[in-house]
Structure 1
């Protein structure tokens, strides 16, 4: 049994489907719907999917103090508890990856499998600078400027250049309108996460999905996870940091095939 005291759920939840549990942890500046929207129904076809919106995302109010990685991890468990899931698989995307890793390390008896997409144990120097700028632009309140800064990092060059001008403008407008109010807090948390010490203790089947054209969280950081988590499987998908935009069907298939093993 876990040595950690049960935590009351404090984050807004999305719940879909039925079957074995699957808990989702979304990316920074986003929400469950914006990270997983194109694949939620597919994931829920064979699972009870539970996703939580971080402080300042979706229907969860923004935090009044800096975000704490352990508490965020425990909130994944609290959401599963609230939905009656004794055990469950975890999927973490981007910032959700280290949150899911920490949840697995803190509550190993609850997690049956771990899937990680476009994520990391700790930001490298380049990503740290991007995160600092991301946070400053978010704090300034110019959501379009923030979007114009992030998209060249988040989308693959192929996806960027394949869009006609009108579609590209629509993507910018949509993304700017959906930036989470808590983005400043998410970016700040991302600068100081470090779950390296958790990796060797992961004992559940693990899939690391590497987005091979990712200019935000580069593949070298994905490969590090696959190398340091015992027995982890590595899968690659030719996208930038946003597989839900560039290749949602392929992304969903990688996750569901792994969970079906």
Structure 2
């Protein structure tokens, strides 16, 4: 991926006209359409290319369901990769720690009846730049603002899971006018008020035997019944191509998150969703968030573990979409 550009560059074609929400009358920004390679300037493998290749790209066939990587500035020196799918008011999907946009591959189509979906490869993951410097959930939230600015979107709905939920907290609390509705999944407020995973879980994730830690993570993400019928590939176990320094930076960003004092300032309608059997990010964090955010709603999914959004998608996705399309605006 090209690095070092300080100018904002667009490699996907978006429609800049504003769109009024049919439900709330909110100006979301552009109506997005980025599934085709000929119009959006994507390579057939889904990665963006230089402006010089745009003419050739227009001759290509539509890209597969990977969508389009749109490169844009997310700092003075870094560029991030934005993946845009579907049409309609934007829904920002925020992935878990050390994961790229593929985290959402199994469920993002569930939202396209009413929303376009935007997913950013965090710094250090996917097609985005991977600087070896401090990351934080606040920094990742600033990157989301850069995405919305680039697209000309005044506001967006935001759905963050795991560390993505922590990023979403920062986004909604520090930039309340940019978030129309908020969904926080399998996440926590961080800091001293959060309920941390127990030591047995921690030890299971650092086992030295080959494959043992990966298996432990799988069992924290999914139920045995799901694993027995879904042999993979799995999209939620981390970006396999991340450099070691980026993994360390992501781990630090998640561990240092503390939004407790910010949460009462969240003004967007908020839904908190969590699996009742989540041990990776203990389920006790869900009521903490719901009680701390004014007017937040809480929904626990019985029997679900950390990746409730994928394993229990037939319940979770309609729940989230119904909330986004019917919750009255504050």
Normalising by the smaller structure, the TM-score range is 0.7 to 0.9
* Alignment of 1:186 onto 2:186: no
Residue aligning to 1:124? 195
RMSD: 2.8
Counterpart in the other structure of 2:65: none
Paired with 2:85 and 2:181, the residues of 1 have a C-alpha distance of 19
What is the number of residues matched between the two proteins? 244
Q: Is the 8 A contact 2:189 2:259 kept in 1?
A: yes
Alignment of 1:201-220 (within 5 A): 201-220=265-284
Q: 1:27 to 1:127 in 2, by over 3 A?
A: farther
Return the TM-score normalized by structure 2.
0.66
User: Which of 225, 236, 256 matches 2:321?
Assistant: 256
Higher relative contact order at CA 8 Å, sep ≥6: structure 1 or structure 2?
1
Distance 1:171 1:183, change over 3 A: farther
What is the alpha-carbon distance in structure 1 between the residues aligned to residue 189 and residue 199 of structure 2? 13
Give the conservation status (yes or no) of the 8 Å contact 1:121–1:194.
yes
In structure 2, how many angstroms separate the alpha carbons of the residues matched to 1:47 and 1:131? Answer: 37
1:149 aligns with 2:216: yes
What do residues 15-59 of structure 1 show as CA deviations (whole Å, max 9, x unaligned)? Answer: 11222221111101322222x112211212211221111122221
- Contact 2:160–2:168 (CA<8 Å) still a contact in 1? yes
Give the Cα–Cα distance (whole angstroms) in 2 for the partners of residues 235 and 18 of structure 1: 28
**Could you tell me whether the CA contact under 8 Å between 2:155 and 2:179 is conserved in 1?**
yes
* Cα contact 1:89–1:114 (8 A) shared by 2: yes
C-alpha separation between the residues in 2 aligned to 1:201 and 1:174?
33
Cα distance in 2 for partners of 1:247, 1:203 equals 28
Q: 1:224 is matched with which residue?
A: 288
Instruction: Determine the C-alpha separation between the residues in 1 that align with 2:93 and 2:298.
Output: 19
Show structure 1 runs of 5+ residues with no match: 1-6
Please give the per-residue CA displacement for 1:187-208, whole angstroms capped at 9, x wherever unaligned. Answer: 2211111110111011110000
Deviation (angstroms), 1:89: 1.0
Classify the secondary structure of the residue corresponding to 2:84: strand
Residue 112 of structure 2: which of 44, 68, 91 is its match?
A: 44
1:101–1:127 Cα change, 3 Å: farther
Q: Could you tell me which of 39, 54, 58 is aligned with 2:126?
A: 58
**Which runs of structure 2 are paired with 1:29-178 in the superposition (5 Å)?**
29-34=98-103, 36-122=104-190, 123-126=194-197, 144-155=211-222, 159-161=223-225, 163-164=227-228, 170-171=231-232, 178=239
TM-score (norm 1): 0.82
Structure 1 CA distance for aligned equivalents of residues 234 and 84 of structure 2? 28
Shift in Å at residue 82 of structure 1? 1.5
CA displacement 1:192-233 (0-9 Å, x = unmatched): 111101110111100001211111111110110001100001
